[in-house]
């Protein structure tokens, strides 16, 4: 049994599963609450699955990019558990988890307050979905350009193509602007993620398709799906030294660096 967790975006996600099959899951629904809600969510999914930490064979963590604090919280929690339990840790780009989630979504994300699940950082065990489109086989085969909102015109992005058993990286994770993304020589692609939603007008104006929310949002189930694909992934070699993909420094770090530069 494996534990997967991602808190790179405002909607955090935790699940336990066997292979790509999810046994139990939680969604942490709220802004800035991941640091206090993640451990209780882990306890909740283990209780629902009738398991405990000693039964885990490995961990999968969303490696970012995304919210600096959220990425750091998941990384620190996963590293601590992997060390304490002496089990392997797999790190998967949260952008790839967003691409994989297009295939593995079941009841992972809440449709909104109308579904009876409010915010405030509450853990949601079985959120409702609402309407979501059914993708054709042709659409599933299209490259998936996943964008996370990085504020202003900036986004974190990566483009993947499903191989049926995994994902081929067409454009690796990077920090960029929506204008730069749309000026790339892109293949026929479908866009997804909260960054794509923020810049919907520009994306549609450039002639690209856009999947509605929650498609493209990273989930723990997406992490399991990515790791369960082929070829097999190697776990993190040195857990203590591993660091997630921040791509951009936090605002606190940027302010510190700016002050240091002005003092030089």
Q: What are the structural domain ranges in the chain?
A: 2-255
- Give the model's pLDDT for residue 254: 40
Using only C-alpha atoms, what is the Rg of the chain?
18
Q: Identify the band that residue 251 occupies on the pLDDT scale cut at 50, 70 and 90.
A: very low
Average pLDDT, the chain: 82
The pLDDT-based confidence of 19 (bands split at 50, 70, 90) is confident
Q: Which residue has the tokens 């949601």?
A: 124
Give the H or E element holding residue 157: strand 154-162
Q: Which pTM does this prediction carry?
A: 0.83
- Which pLDDT tens digit goes with each residue over 153-182? 999 999 999 887 788 999 999 999 999 999
The least confident of 88-97, 130-139, 156-165 is: 130-139
User: Tell me, what's the pLDDT at 232?
Assistant: 84
221: number of CA atoms within 13 Å, CB side?
20
Question: Phi and psi at residue 115, in whole multiples of 5°?
Answer: -85, 0
Measure Cα distances from 52 to 1, 37, 126, 219, 235 in Å.
10, 18, 20, 21, 22
Report the length, in residues, of the chain: 264
- Range 2-255: architecture per CATH: 2-Layer Sandwich (3.30)
């Amino acid at each position: 049994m494996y534990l997967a967790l991602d808190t790179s975006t405002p909607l955090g996600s935790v699940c336990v599963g066997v292979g790509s099959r999810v046994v139990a899951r939680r969604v942490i629904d709220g802004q800035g609450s991941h640091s206090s809600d993640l451990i209780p969510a882990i306890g909740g999914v283990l209780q629902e699955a009738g398991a405990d930490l000693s039964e885990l064979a490995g961990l999968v963590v969303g490696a970012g990019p995304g919210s600096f604090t959220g990425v750091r919280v998941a990384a620190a929690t996963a590293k601590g558990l992997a060390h304490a339990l002496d089990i392997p840790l797999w790190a998967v780009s949260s952008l790839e988890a967003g691409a994989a989630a297009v295939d593995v979504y079941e009841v992972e994300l809440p449709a909104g307050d109308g579904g009876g699940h409010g915010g405030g950082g509450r853990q949601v065990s079985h959120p409702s979905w609402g309407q979501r489109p059914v993708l054709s086989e042709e659409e599933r085969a299209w490259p998936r350009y996943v964008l996370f909102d990085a504020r202003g015109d900036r986004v974190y992005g990566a483009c993947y193509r499903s191989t049926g058993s995994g994902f081929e990286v067409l454009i690796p994770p990077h920090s960029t602007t929506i204008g730069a993304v749309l000026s790339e020589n892109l293949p026929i692609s479908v866009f997804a993620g909260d960054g794509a939603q923020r810049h919907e007008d520009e994306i549609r104006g450039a002639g690209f398709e856009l999947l509605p929310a929650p498609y493209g949002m990273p989930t723990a189930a997406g992490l399991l799906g990515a790791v369960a694909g082929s070829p097999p992934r190697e776990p993190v070699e040195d857990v203590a030294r591993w660091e997630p993909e921040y791509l951009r420094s936090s605002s606190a770090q940027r302010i510190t660096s700016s002050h240091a530069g002005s003092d030089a």
